[in-house]
Structures are given as structure tokens and as C-alpha cells.
Amino acid sequence: MKKILAILLALAMLLGFAACGGNTEDETTTTTTAAEEVTDEAPVEESTEAASDDVSAEDPSAEDPSAADESTSAEESTDAAAEKAPETTAEILAFYNDAINKAYAAKVGFNKERYTDNETLNAGFLLKTFGNLIYSFMGIGAENKYTMDVTKGEWESDVPHHYLRKSTLAESDLTGAKCTENNGKYTITLNVKGGTSKASKSESWTKAPIDKCGICVGDADKSYFDHKTAPVIFSAIGEVLSSAVIEESYKNAVVKAEIDAATGNLISLTVEFDIDVVIDAAGGGNATGKTHVFYRNFKY
């Protein structure tokens, strides 16, 4: 009986060990399965790293601070280029035309002065007799200096009285253009081609690029016209001397404008040129001088 009990006890112990061995296999299997599941989830972390690489590719500054500095520097460089003074003739001329036309559109206030000095008179009887009159309508001599104060917005409704014109200068009208920058302003200097005009009872024409720069011009005799062309002069004397043939020419024309670099507003405008007028008539002759036109104290 004791042997049977001993045998049964031994079998029970063997079964117990067998049961324990089975549980160990299950735990091992479970652990292995869990490890495999963790391994299966690992690519998620790799995917995150890949996404990070993509962000870095799109934005170099994400991982490299120096890249952000380079990006900022590029933006600053672009801004600086936008504020850079015009350099080419086309750029300089465009900036000038915009400034003149902005002043015209705003009907700005300003002070204007014009006179012609260094005058010479090579005259026959007619010009000797009426020289002062001719000088007067040509604006020659200190006594014939012209000045005008124009109030902002109060321009005459009659176009000839606007005292300032739009600028329509083109590159083909120039022989040179320069722009310098100093203390927040651009100084633009334009060398304008010379021109001629002619007028008689039978013909009248003007080829004058300087008339396109914004100065006050017209086709009849008016004291406020800055360039006295042949048609302008003939309109003054044609009724008295209808047989006269008048030829006018100018040279050495220089336009200088000071413009606020930030706003594009005119600060001052100076136009100068040498003028020569020939009156072909009995007792005629020619008169020459240097014309100076100044626009100052612009008020926007």
C-alpha cells in the first residue's frame, strides 16, 4: 500500500513538474510574441525620423541655426536691393518721370524762378530798336526775371497756367543719366539732347526734347513759358513783322532733380540750357543767352 502511495505521489509530482514546464513554454511564447509585436511597431519610430528628415529638407533652419541666418540675410538683401538707388539709364529715367508726374497729379505747391543771363545781341536795325522788347518776351536779362508762387491744389483750370507739366522723356531724348544718393535723397542728372524750332507765316514746328521734362511750355507767347521756341516768339511779333522767319535752337541742356529716396517726392528741380534765336528779317539778327529754370519748396 505504501509502495502504491509512493508511486502515486511520484506520478503526482511528475505531473506537477510537467504542468510547470507547460506554463514556462506559454510564458516564453507570450514573451516572444510580445517582443515580435514591439518589433512590428518599431517602423513607426523610423517613420517619425523620416518625417523629421523631410521637414529639414524643406526648412534648412530646422536643424541648422546658421541656415536660418542665411535665409534672413537673403531676405534683408532683397529688401536692400529694392531700396537701392537706380543705376541704369532706364531705371533713373523711370524714377525721374514718376517723381515729376506724382507732383503733377498732386497739384503740388512750389516756387518757380526763371531767368536768362550771359546774353548777347548781334543786331541789325530791328533788333537794336526793339531789342529790349525781344529780350523781354525771351525772358533775357535780370530785369526780365520771372517768379511765381503756386499754392498747393490751387492750379489754374486753364492748362497753360499749370506751370508744371508731366514728364514724357524717353531714353532716346538723352545723352546721359546719372543718379547719386546722399542723406536719404537721390540727385538725378539728365543730359538732354539739343533741339530746334522754326516759325514763319507759312510754317511752324518744334523738335525740343527739353520740353518733355516737365517745364512749362506751350505754343503761344506767354510769360510763364520756360522755353521760348520760335513759334512762341513769332506769335509775339508776327502781327507786326509778318515776313519774319524765326529759328531757335538750344544746346547743353541739363536737368537736375533732387528727390526724396523714401517717398519719391520732388525736393527741387533745375533745368538749364543755352538758347540761340535768329530773326531773319530786314534789320534782324540773333540773340543768345543761358536759360535757368528753378522749381523749389515743393509742398505735397
Cell 536768362 belongs to which residue?
116
Query: One digit per residue, pLDDT tens: the chain, 300 residues?
Result: 433 333 333 333 333 333 334 444 444 443 344 334 434 444 444 443 443 344 333 444 444 444 444 444 434 433 333 468 899 999 999 999 999 999 999 999 999 999 998 888 787 776 667 667 767 766 677 778 899 999 999 998 888 788 999 999 999 999 999 999 999 999 999 999 999 999 999 999 999 999 999 999 998 888 889 999 999 989 888 888 888 899 999 999 999 999 999 999 999 999 999 999 998 877 778 888 999 999 999 999
Question: Residue 111 has what pLDDT?
Answer: 97
Supply the pLDDT for residue 127: 66
What's the pLDDT score for residue 37? 41
What's the pLDDT at 79? 39
Q: Are 107 and 155 within 8 A, CB to CB? A: yes
* Cβ-count burial 230-239 (b if 16+ within 10 Å, e if not): bbbbbbbbbe
Q: CA-CA distance, 43 to 212, in Å (whole number)? A: 74
Which one, of 171, 157, 2, lies nearest residue 90 by Cα? 171
CA distance 90 to 177: 9
pLDDT at 61: 41
Backbone angles phi, psi at 193, to 5 degrees: -60, 150
pTM for the model stands at: 0.70
- Residues 215-224: contacts with CB under 8 Å, at least 24 apart: 215/164, 215/165, 215/271, 215/293, 216/112, 216/160, 216/162, 216/163, 216/164, 216/165, 217/165, 218/160, 220/160, 221/137, 222/160, 223/137, 223/139, 223/146, 224/146, 224/148, 224/160, 224/161, 224/163
155 phi and psi angles, rounded to 5 deg: -80, 145
146 bridge partner residues? 114
pLDDT for 134: 67
Among 234, 300, 236, residue whose Cα is nearest residue 266: 300
State residue 33's pLDDT score: 40
